[in-house]
Amino acid sequence: MSLTVLATTHRVAPGLLTWRAWDALRSADAVRLRDGHPLLPALLDAGVVPDLVEEPDPAVLVADARRADVLWAAAPEGDEALMRGIGALVVDDPLDVEVLHGSYDLPGARLLDLVSVMDTLRRECPWDRKQTHTTLVPYLLEEAYEVLDTVQEGDYGALREELGDVLMQVAFHSVVAAERDDGTGFTIDDVAGAIVDKLVRRHPHVFGDVTVSGADEVNANWEQIKAAERAEKSGADASALDGVPMGQPALSLAAQLQRRAARMGAPSGLAEGLAEEAGAGLGGRLFALVREAGEQGVDAESELRAVSRVFRERVRAWERREP
């Protein structure tokens, strides 16, 4: 006789079990689970009528399993205390005990937990409940910069945590948006679906029948696809500069505008005379320096950030020397 403990995950729909799990459920002399277990409707639909218990008693399960083949369907979150109790009972008096995994998490399954946690926080936490897209924006920017810091410092151990903070912001904005009923609402599934569609659309050499010779051709196709998307969205008013976020730091903004203009073949002379026209000689010179950095194949934002880090260390060294 034996005791089988069926383990499942709440991140997979109830009833989506392995063939071995269903075979064990149908062949067991007795199937037991807690009343309200998410598997119950699926079992009843399949003709498996289990015994319902309020809370399992390890001694009762073990005693019954010594007389018949008993299957216990563990709670999706696990039954650690129960398993410890069973283990203590069978140490001196062995029993054939098997843990059978009936379903497994798929890659990305923990994202379901994030969605659930954010929904709960939005309902039950006073601070989370009052947030809006506007109030959340500073946190998103802050978290993105923290990701940048970990990458530039080579602290890849911290990168996982910082990326999680960014992901939380995406989930937070999505749960806020899902509450709207004015036609502008969306869910995190809509967010994921939109980026999946975009990635598939912009990679015809992977998901379609387009053939490319290398990364340069991939980039050229990408720009053509983006241009077509802009034209479809904006019509005659479409511009290669559409989508450039004007709220980003000024150095990276200038660099992105210059890259976009260069890719579309805009004449380099458009940047001349900016200092005089804007009435700010310093701004014009900064814009020219960004252009110079681009011509040298370096990123002005990263260059200035690197120098700033050196300056920071010099100041710290000076602080240590000063009384």
Whether residue 204 lies inside any domain: the answer is: no
Please tell me whether the overall predicted TM-score, pTM, comes out greater than 0.75 for this model.
Answer: no
Residue 312's nearest CA partner among 320, 37, 292 is 320
Q: Identify the domain boundary among 103, 132, 151.
A: 103
Whether residue 214 lies inside any domain: the answer is: no
Which pLDDT belongs to residue 144?
92
Whether residue 228 lies inside any domain: the answer is: no
CATH number where 99 lies: 3.40.1010.10
Whether residue 81 lies inside any domain: the answer is: yes
Give the CA count within 13 Å in the CB-facing half-sphere of 114: 17
Whether residue 130 lies inside any domain: the answer is: no
Which pLDDT belongs to residue 321?
85
Residue 23's nearest CA partner among 6, 1, 44, 41 is 6
Query: Using CA atoms, how far apart are residues 33 and 52, in angstroms rounded to an integer?
Result: 5
Q: In terms of residue numbers, what domain contains 47?
A: 2-103
Which pLDDT belongs to residue 240?
66
Which pLDDT belongs to residue 188?
96
Residue with tokens 């991939």: 218
Task: Spell out the per-residue pLDDT of the chain, length 323, in tens.
Answer: 899 999 999 888 888 999 999 999 999 999 999 999 999 999 999 999 999 998 899 999 999 999 999 999 999 888 889 999 999 998 888 999 999 999 998 899 999 999 999 999 999 999 999 999 999 998 999 999 899 889 988 999 999 999 999 999 999 999 999 999 999 999 999 999 999 999 999 899 999 888 888 998 888 888 788 778 777 776 667 676 777 777 778 888 888 888 777 777 777 677 676 655 656 778 888 888 888 888 898 888 888 888 888 888 888 888 888 76
Looking at the structure of the chain, the number of domains it has is 2
Which pLDDT belongs to residue 261?
79
Whether residue 99 lies inside any domain: the answer is: yes
Whether residue 150 lies inside any domain: the answer is: no
Which pLDDT belongs to residue 279?
60
Q: Identify the domain boundary among 103, 137, 158.
A: 103
Which pLDDT belongs to residue 273?
64
The number of angstroms, rounded, from the C-alpha of 298 to the middle of its chain's C-alpha atoms is 30
Whether residue 138 lies inside any domain: the answer is: no
Q: Identify the domain boundary among 82, 103, 124.
A: 103
Task: State the sign of the Cα–Cα–Cα–Cα dihedral 151, 155, 157, 163.
Answer: negative
